[in-house]
Amino acid sequence: MDALPVFLKLRETPTLVVGGGDVAERKIDLLLRAGASVTVISPTLCEAVMRLHDRQLIHWIAEPFHPKALANARIVIAATDDRSVNRAVFEAAGEKGIPVNVVDQPDLCTFTVPSIVDRTPVIIAIGTGGASPVLARMLKARLETLIPSAYGRLAAIAKDFRDQVKQALSTVTARRTFWEEVFQGRVAELVFAGKDGQAQKELRHMIEHADDATYERGEVYLVGAGPGDPDLLTFRALRLMQRADVVLYDRLVAPAIVDLVRRDAERIYVGKEKSNHVVPQGEINQLLLELAQQGKRVLRLKGGDPFIFGRGGEEIEDLVNQGIPFQVIPGITAAAGCASYAGIPLTHRDHAQSCLFVTGHLKDGSVDLNWQALCQPGQTVVVYMGLTGLESICREMVRHGLDGTTPAALIQQGTTLNQKVIAATLETLVDEVAKNQVQAPTLLIVGNVVKLHDKLAWFIPESPLAQNAAIHEPGRGGNDGL
């Protein structure tokens, strides 16, 4: 972060704007909206600023800028088209330690003015550190449409009842759950429908019946985080990620996704490597249970889909036995994500009428699969955790009747900026993989549909950010994970 966003209280505070043109007018308007006392120094004023002066909303010093004008200003904004004046303002403010903003000259700013979505008392500020005001405006436009204007009224009502809720509920957790219910439930709906009076009545009713136990019940969210690209999360996943008190995640969940979890949620890494489980499965199950029993909202983030080679079932079994409420949120499984992003349709009328998902995990050093079932014509086989056993898998498939020229692809870190697709055949894939330095996780797809990759590939990342987007920490190359 290059700057810390803060909200400045300027009510009746002296502020100075240098310049009296259109640009200055926009800044003056903002300062007036914040209740500031605005002095404008400029030999002339444009019509709009003159009108403000006529209505006695601003003070006007009809002179060129001089440092004395800064005398008691708490902040200063320079909005002139004269670069030497702007610099003079910057230097004079610097000497006096007054925060200064020079419009459109980020290097002459000690503070910047964000784009604002105003739902007073809710205010959202969007800044790009001067990198792209246009982007900030676009984001603002999006948020404007996303956030009902009634949120301002809702927040004002909440403020009036804050103390009563504090008295009714004794713990922070209970109070937070209570307010979330208010903002997501009937009270909010009533405000959105313009029925503020009824909303207040409902809120009063809720407070009268509130007790700590009701609002302190823990819960577990078993959430599929998808294969890597954060854009592939579901809305529900994101919503629960924003509610969690604590998150348990492993190395299959991309850092960019963990970043989307509520900022002050506790983060617990229970990462697994193939033969070196950082936290044994039994302990993860136990941890989920204990955290929920403490009244926490526990987010268990899983790569892909929790019920596909994800041990999701095992993790919630104890919860069922102990009567802990939970939700399971599906995610895009690696097969679907990698196939789409590699341009390999898993089924296709001409090539494959069915698709099998299997695990290539080694048992006692060999891959133990129903080869007969895997080597049927007209089907696609997707192998999870198949890198270590790759050679054996390819060999066995040929031994059990598939042609050596059957197309096969290994997809590294599908859907991330580190995605790489190595498309070959059952005979040649092992050599091709050996030539490339592949990094876990990888997915193997076998079948005629792989031929379509050449034609349908569309996601071909070249970004220099690739290393940051990696699912796993550097230096763990070649390990097939889980």
What are the residues binding ligand SAH (CB under 6 A)?
227-228, 252, 302-305, 308-310, 333-334, 338, 384-385, 411, 413-415, 441-443, 480-482
Side-chain-side CA neighbours of 2 within 13 Å: the count stands at 11
Nearer to ligand SAH, 118 or 273 (CB): 273
Percentages of the chain per state (helix, strand, coil), in multiples of 5: 40, 20, 40
Nearer to ligand SAH, 114 or 337 (CB): 337
Closest approach, Cβ 110 to ligand SAH, in A, equals 43
Closest approach, Cβ 411 to ligand SAH, in A, equals 5
Pairing mode, strands 219-224 and 326-329:
parallel
Q: Which of 27, 272, 302, 420 is catalytic?
A: 272
Nearer to ligand SAH, 42 or 333 (CB): 333
Nearer to ligand SAH, 102 or 356 (CB): 356
Closest approach, Cβ 468 to ligand SAH, in A, equals 15
Question: Which helix (H) or strand (E) covers residue 315, if one does?
Answer: helix 312-322
Nearer to ligand SAH, 20 or 224 (CB): 224
Closest approach, Cβ 441 to ligand SAH, in A, equals 4
- Of 352, 349, 307, nearest to 327 by C-alpha is 307
Integer-rounded Cα radius of gyration of the chain: 30
> Do residues 108 and 83 lie in contact, with contact meaning Cβ atoms separated by under 8 Å?
no
Closest approach, Cβ 357 to ligand SAH, in A, equals 9
Q: Is 272 a catalytic residue?
A: yes
Nearer to ligand SAH, 292 or 411 (CB): 411
Cis amide linkage into residue 121, ω under 30° from 0: yes
Closest approach, Cβ 374 to ligand SAH, in A, equals 16
Side-chain-side CA neighbours of 392 within 13 Å: the count stands at 15
Closest approach, Cβ 14 to ligand SAH, in A, equals 56
Beta-sheet strand order (sheet of 407-412): 354-359, 379-384, 442-446, 407-412, 420-425
> Which residues does 287 contact at the CB level (< 8 Å), separation at least 6?
248, 268, 270, 279
Bridge partner residues of 219 (DSSP): 297
- The closest residue (CB) to ligand SAH is 304
Q: Is 29 a catalytic residue?
A: no
Q: Angle, to 10 degrees, between the axis of helix 151-168 and the axis of helix 172-184?
A: 150
Nearer to ligand SAH, 60 or 307 (CB): 307
Q: How far apart are CA 313 and CA 317, in angstroms?
A: 6
Beta strands in 169-289 (DSSP E): 219-224, 246-249, 266-269
Cis amide linkage into residue 441, ω under 30° from 0: yes
Cα angle for residues 266, 267, 271 (degrees, 5° grid): 155
Q: Which of 229, 250, 305, 480 is catalytic?
A: 250
- Of 285, 250, 254, nearest to 268 by C-alpha is 250
Positions marked catalytic: 250, 272
